[in-house]
Structure 1
Amino acid sequence: MPTRRAVTGRSREPRARFAEELRSLRTRRGESLRQLGERLGWDWSLFGKMENGETLGGPEVVEALDQYYGTPGLLLALWELAINDQTQFRERYRRYMALEATATSLWHFAVSVLPGLLQTPAYAREVLAAGGLKGPELEQQVQARMGRRTLLDGDDAPPFRTILSEAALRTPLCDARHWREQLEYLSGVAERSNVTVHVLPFRAGFHGLMNTDVWYLRLPDGRTVAYTESGYRGELIEEYAAVERLQLSYDVVRDQALSPAESRKFVLRILEEVPCDPST
């Protein structure tokens, strides 16, 4: 669903609204990001990431921007709204994780990134780093993601079905060796009895989930809940009618996807395209 906009044409989503205001103030002055960085004494790439929504920055840089642009308190107020929205995102995600741990079955659709349950450490590290994490926090999140993979281990592991957009398989890691390891791991996991992997090829065209990464959880009480997410926010959906609509979209996409056997062959063909490490 597109980000809602007010009558002013500006986003109502706090993080996007903050980024829009930063970009608008700078462009009205006719400055480049590099010029802004030189004048305020910060690395210009930080301002670029803030304007693209990749990071919110800290209060000290936001206060400096407020002073520089002559907008006392405006940017800091927008920043606080965005920070609080991120806190709500984490709370929703924590609730989702609690439900995932008790789910009797899971199914999923990936737009451009492989699901965390099927990621190798190198893949998880590069994806999380692209989202702005670094240092100890990055390593902590990688370990947490690897811990989630145990959900699919053991005799009592729940059934897991995923449909991977071809884009998720055509976006490699920077290191070809790590990308090869990820594809090999994916191919191996797809052979497990409780894991079903489908590939949705580009030729399937437009569909109802093309902008939405979504998880569905069947809970012990028989209910199904859904969780949709982007790089910056997620939404836990429990209302029956809304979940039903998403399930119908998923069923249509599954009908367009390759069978599990064809999908595994597809992954192996992509694996053959990855350059081998000449040192091995």
Structure 2
Amino acid sequence: MPARRVVTGRSQEPRRRFAEELRSLRAGRGDSLRRLEEVLGWTASTFGKMEGGQSLGSPEVVEALDQHYGTTPMLLALWELAVGDTSQFKEQYRRYMELEAGAIGLWHYGVSRPPGLLQTAGYAREALAAGGLAGEALEQQVDARVGRRSVLEGPGSPPFRAIISEAVLRNSLRDPVEWRGQLEYLVEASEHSNITLHVLPFGTGLHPLDGTSVMFLRLPEGRTVAYTEFDVRGELVEETSRVERLHRTYDGVRDLALSPAESRMFILRMLEEVPCEPST
């Protein structure tokens, strides 16, 4: 593990200190920015902006760099100091992100939005902006969300099953071009051998997951955990009996949904309704 550098008077400002450490670690490893892109999945531009001090990146990116350089948790600690607000790093969410990265199977049900793993940059940007993010913080989180796609890409990627409520597909983005891009990406994703999409159409009645989005993670040791999201909070569920109850509920909702082939046709029909060009 690389030795930690001493904080000097020259580099006491947390943001500058963080950028210096990133540059030093990459130089010591002999990596190029393009190499980081190939290995970790985020763009070379993302890493370049972080090293240049123009961006702090996201916790997901920083955790990946910590693992790559063998410095865990030094970089994340420096990043939290640079951001100046550690309250957002809920331990449960941080643990969930670690588990997601190593999952061997994933299942998702979304109440109001596509799963983050299948969101385009345009969709993520509007969704995060609606939550109050703006400027650099917004772009950091967009990069982080799009970067999470690497979980489902490449050899050995885990199987992922997603049930998307019709409400998600009816609540379009303001920009029709970006919305078309999101629908096209869902169709493209449905063609991947490890991704299965179901649409839950209107008219199927009420069910126990009406107000809850949930992601299940099958872990290498064989157990399954769940992460539930409500309007104002999220919760990592690891208790076996609770996870099993949630999974039975999920299976019941899946039984109400369209088949993968029917779901793909449903999204294609919606695509036909979207203008190809923005209105003037």
Q: Give the TM bin, normalised by the shorter chain.
A: 0.5 to 0.7
Cα deviation, 1:64-95, whole Å, max 9, x if unaligned, reads xxxxxxxxxxxxxxxxxxxxxx9376321111
Cα deviation, 1:139-185, whole Å, max 9, x if unaligned, reads 00000011100111112100000000000111100000100011001
1:112 positional shift: 0.8
* In 2, Cα distance between equivalents of 1:139 and 1:232: 22
Q: Secondary structure at the match of 1:158?
A: coil
Q: What's the counterpart of residue 254 of structure 2?
A: 254
1:203 positional shift: 1.3
1:232 positional shift: 3.0
Q: What's the counterpart of residue 270 of structure 2?
A: 270
Q: What's the counterpart of residue 188 of structure 2?
A: 188
Q: Which runs of 5+ in 1 are unaligned?
A: 1-85
Partner amino acid, structure 1, of 2:193 = S
Q: Any residues of structure 2 matched to 1:134-153 within 5 Å, and which?
A: 134-153=134-153
Q: Any residues of structure 2 matched to 1:118-157 within 5 Å, and which?
A: 118-157=118-157
Q: Give the 3 Å change call, closer, same or farther, for CA 226–168 of structure 1 in structure 2.
A: same
* In 2, Cα distance between equivalents of 1:127 and 1:93: 19
Q: Secondary structure at the match of 1:151?
A: helix
- C-alpha root-mean-square deviation of aligned residues, in Å? 1.5
Q: Give 4+ residue runs of structure 1 displaced > 6 Å after superposition.
A: none
Q: What's the counterpart of residue 169 of structure 2?
A: 169
Q: What's the counterpart of residue 209 of structure 1?
A: 209
Cα deviation, 1:21-72, whole Å, max 9, x if unaligned, reads xxxxxxxxxxxxxxxxxxxxxxxxxxxxxxxxxxxxxxxxxxxxxxxxxxxx
Cα deviation, 1:4-26, whole Å, max 9, x if unaligned, reads xxxxxxxxxxxxxxxxxxxxxxx
Q: Give the conservation status (yes or no) of the 8 Å contact 1:89–1:234.
A: no
* In 2, Cα distance between equivalents of 1:134 and 1:93: 22
Q: Give the conservation status (yes or no) of the 8 Å contact 1:89–1:233.
A: no
Q: Secondary structure at the match of 1:148?
A: helix
Q: Give the conservation status (yes or no) of the 8 Å contact 2:105–2:218.
A: yes
Q: Give the conservation status (yes or no) of the 8 Å contact 1:131–1:231.
A: no
Q: Secondary structure at the match of 2:179?
A: helix
What is the aligned length?
194
Q: Any residues of structure 2 matched to 1:11-30 within 5 Å, and which?
A: none
Q: Which runs of 5+ in 2 are unaligned?
A: 1-85
1:231 positional shift: 4.5
Q: Secondary structure at the match of 1:268?
A: helix
* In 2, Cα distance between equivalents of 1:258 and 1:183: 17
1:259 positional shift: 0.2
Q: Any residues of structure 2 matched to 1:239-250 within 5 Å, and which?
A: 239-250=239-250
Q: Secondary structure at the match of 2:113?
A: coil
1:233 positional shift: 1.5
* In 2, Cα distance between equivalents of 1:208 and 1:156: 33
Q: Give the conservation status (yes or no) of the 8 Å contact 2:176–2:278.
A: no
1:137 positional shift: 0.5
Partner amino acid, structure 1, of 2:265 = K
TM-score, normalised relative to structure 2: 0.67
Larger Rg computed on CA atoms: 1
* In 1, Cα distance between equivalents of 2:278 and 2:103: 43
* In 1, Cα distance between equivalents of 2:106 and 2:219: 9
Partner amino acid, structure 2, of 1:171 = N
Partner amino acid, structure 2, of 1:211 = G
Q: Give the conservation status (yes or no) of the 8 Å contact 2:177–2:278.
A: no
Q: Secondary structure at the match of 1:161?
A: strand
* In 2, Cα distance between equivalents of 1:161 and 1:250: 11
